[in-house]
Amino acid sequence: MFSQTTGKVIKISDGDTITILLKGNQQKKLRLAEVDCPESGQPFGKSAKQFTSSQVFGKMINFTETSTDRYGRSIAKVYYDNGKYLSKELIKAGMGWWYFSYSKDTSLGKLQENAQREKIGLWQDVHAVAPWEYRKMKRELRNKKNELAKDQLKTKGAA
C-alpha cells in the first residue's frame, strides 16, 4: 500500500482535482478518490470547485495515493483539518457523486442518499446528470460530429 504524504495545496483545477507542492518544490496533481464532481460545463461545476478551494486551498494536507487514472494522474485520499476526508465532505455537501464504480465505501453512498433526500447542493436539480454520464454524452456528440464531417467530405469529394 502507499504511504501517507504531506503537501501544500497550491491549485484547484476543479472540484475533484488539486495540485500540491511537495518538499523540494515538486508539484503533484491529485485526482480525489471515491468522488466525481460535476464538470466545469455542468451545473454546480463551479460550486464544487469553490467548495474544494474553501476547504483546502493554501493548506497543508495529508494524502494517500490509491492508484493512477488513465491520464497518469495520482488518485488519492486527501485529509485536512485534523483528519477530515475531502471526498466525504464533498459528497456530504452535495458537491459530488459517490464514485461507486471505484469505491467500496458504502458509507459514502449513504451520505449521498442523505444529500439527495435533503436536496443539498447539486441535488437541488432534479435532472442532475452524473459527471461520468455527462462525459460519455460529450464523447458521443463529438464522435457524431466527426462522422458528419467525414460524410460531408466524402459527399463533396464525390460531387
User: Which one of 31, 113, 142, 147 is the catalytic residue?
Assistant: 31
User: Which one of 34, 39, 135, 147 is the catalytic residue?
Assistant: 39
DSSP per position, 61-80 = EEEEEEEE-TTSPEEEEEEE
Q: Is 147 a catalytic residue?
A: no
Please name the residues in contact with 79: beta carbons below 8 A apart, sequence gap of 6 or more. Answer: 61, 62, 63, 85, 86
User: Which one of 34, 65, 73, 117 is the catalytic residue?
Assistant: 73
Q: Is 135 a catalytic residue?
A: no
What is the chain's alpha carbon radius of gyration, rounded to the nearest angstrom?
19
Q: Is 31 a catalytic residue?
A: yes
Helices and strands per DSSP (H, E), number in the chain: 4, 8
Q: Which of 93, 82, 96 is nearest to 33 (CA)?
A: 96
As annotated, the active-site residues are: 31, 39, 73
